[in-house]
Amino acid sequence: MTANPPASPPPPAATPAVAGLFAAASAARGQAHAPYSRFLVGAAIRTPDGGIFAGANVENAAYPQGQCAEASAIGAMVAGGGKRIAEIVIIGAPADPAADASGLCTPCGGCRQRLREFATPGTPIHVAGPEGVRATFTMDQLLPFSFGPDNLSF
Ligand code: THU
């Protein structure tokens, strides 16, 4: 009798590059402006040349105007001259340490499309909690059959 397989893949081994991204995402998460959801998110992108660009979620009293951490990180990357995402770490969890923080903070649908603009199908997307990376997906796993710049011949 064999044991049941685990419900989700084990966390990937942390590489130095991922550890650096995790630290940058964690610092950005500490600056999140999320007084309405009290759900703090930080994201950090590594570009192929080794640049690191981080962002946090930025909520607004007019709720729909809030911005996800991934969008903030992409804005920082573009402002810094970056055009490609080599990998990204996203850390999301409630601000309240007593709250259930076990959920995976996978990017929302809109952010999957935002990431797709600068990613390849194999780009790793590391989803983390405050303690570390919990799961890694590829861009294509999160947004299969996607529409991107190549559809417009760019
Ligand atoms: N949020 C992100 O910043 N990234 C995600 O991947 C999921 C959700 C933010 C949006 C909002 O400020 C808060 O988390 C709760 O949805």
70 noted as active-site residue: yes
> Does residue 47 contact residue 120 with C-beta atoms inside 8 Å?
no
8 located within any domain: no
Burial of 46 (0-12, 13-18, 19+ CB in 10 A): buried
Q: Is 10's pLDDT higher than 60?
A: no
Asked whether residue 144 is domain-assigned, the answer is yes
pLDDT at 14: 73
State whether the beta carbon of 28 lies less than 6 angstroms from ligand 1.
no
Q: What is the mean pLDDT of the chain?
A: 93
Ligand 1 atom closest to residue 36's alpha carbon, by position in its atom list: 12
CB 57 within 8 A of CB 40: yes
- What confidence tens digit (pLDDT) does each residue in 23-42 have? 999 999 999 999 999 999 99
Whether the per-residue pLDDT at 124 is higher than 60: the answer is yes
Residue 48 pLDDT: 98
Question: How many independent structural domains does the chain possess?
Answer: 1
Per-residue confidence (pLDDT) for residue 8, from 0 to 100: 46
- Indicate the annotated binding residues: 57-63, 68, 108, 111
In this structure, what CATH number is given to the domain that contains residue 142? 3.40.140.10
Instruction: Decide if 138 is inside a domain.
Output: yes
pLDDT at 7 over 50: no
Residue ranges making up the domain that contains 147 = 16-152
Instruction: Please list, in sequence order, all residues whose beta carbon lies within 8 angstroms of the beta carbon of residue 82, skipping any fewer than 6 positions away.
Output: 45, 47, 51, 53, 118
**How do residues 94-106 score in pLDDT, each as one tens digit?**
999 999 999 999 9
- A 10 A CB-CB count for 104 gives 13
Instruction: Tally Cβ neighbours within 10 Å of residue 48.
Output: 11
**Predicted pLDDT at 67:** 98
Is residue 118 in some structural domain?
Answer: yes
Question: Residues comprising the binding site for Zn(2+)?
Answer: 68, 108, 111
CA of 149 to the centre of ligand 1 (A): 25
62-109 tens-digit pLDDT:
999 999 999 999 999 999 999 999 999 999 999 999 999 999 999 999
Nearest to 105 by CA among 124, 130, 123, 141: 130
Q: Which atom of ligand 1 is nearest to the CA of 68?
A: 3
One-character DSSP codes across 57-95: -B--SSGGG-B-HHHHHHHHHHHTT----SEEEEEEEES
Q: Which tens digits make up the pLDDT trace of 126-151?
A: 999 999 999 999 999 999 999 999 99
Residue 11 lies in a domain: no
